A and B are shown apart, each in its own frame.
Chain A
Amino acid sequence: MSLTDLTLLELAEKLASGQTSAVEATRACLARIAQVDGKVKAFLRLDERGALAAAEASDARRATGTRLGPLDGVPVAVKDIFLTEGVETTCASRVLQGFVPPYDATAVTLLKQAGMPIVGKLNQDEFAMGSSNESSAFGACHNPWDLTRTPGGSSGGSAAALAAREVFGTLGTDTGGSIRQPAALTNTVGLKPTYGRVSRQGVIAYASSLDAPGPMGRTVGDVAALLQVLARHDPLDSTSAAVEVPDYRADLEAGVAGLKLGVPREYFVEGMDPQVEAAVRAALAAYEKLGATLVDVSLPHTKYALATYYLLAPAEASSNLARYDGVRYGFRAREGKGLKDMYGQTRDQGFGPEVKRRIMLGTYALSAGYYDAYYLRAQKVRTLIREDFTRAFTQVDAIVTPTSPVPAFKLGEKVEDPLSMYLMDVCTLPCNLAGLPGLSLPCGFTREGLPVGLQLMGRPFDEARLLRIGRAFEREHDFTRRLAPL
Chain B
Amino acid sequence: MKLSVEQVRHVAGLARLSLSASEEERYAVQLSAVLDAVAQLEELDVEGVEPTSHASLAAALLREDTPRPSLTPERALANAPARGGTSFAVPKILE
Contacts and interface: CB of A to CB of B under 8 A. Distances in A.
Contact of B8 (A99, A360, A379): A360
Interface string A267-306: 0000000000000000000000000000000000101101
A360 B33 CA distance: 13
Nearest to A240: B61
Given A307-B38, A380-B49, A381-B44, A360 B55 contact: no
Interface string B38-79: 111110101001111111111011110000000100011011
A238 to B, nearest CB: 5
In this complex, the interface size class of chain B, counting residues with CB under 8 Å from chain A, is 35 or more
A307 B3 CA distance: 18
A100 B55 contact: no
Contacts, number: 180
A359 B11 CA distance: 9
Interface in A320-360: 322, 325-332, 335-336, 338-345, 347-348, 351, 356-357, 359-360
Interface string A344-388: 110110010000110111011001000000101111111110100
Contact of B17 (A332, A348, A367): A348
In this complex, the interface size class of chain A, counting residues with CB under 8 Å from chain B, is 35 or more
A383 B14 contact: no
Chain A interface mostly: helix
Contacts of A342: 90-91
Interface string A241-283: 1110000000000000000000000000000000000000000
Chain B interface mostly: loop
Contact of B55 (A195, A351, A367): A195
Given A357-B31, A383-B49, A327 B79 contact: no
Among A210, A310, A341, A379, which residue has the most Cβ atoms of chain B within 10 A? A379
Contacts of A460: 57
B23 interface: yes
Contact of A344 (B16, B52, B53): B16
Contacts of A412: none
Contacts of B75: 102
B56 A330 contact: no
Contacts of B34: 310, 361, 418-419, 422
Interface of B: 3, 7-8, 11-12, 14-20, 23, 27, 30-31, 33-35, 37-42, 44, 46, 49-58, 60-63, 71, 75-76, 78-82, 88, 90-93, 95
20 contacts: A98-B79, A100-B78, A209-B53, A241-B56, A307-B40, A311-B41, A325-B16, A329-B81, A330-B81, A331-B81, A332-B82, A348-B18, A356-B17, A361-B34, A363-B11, A363-B15, A364-B11, A378-B41, A382-B52, A435-B57
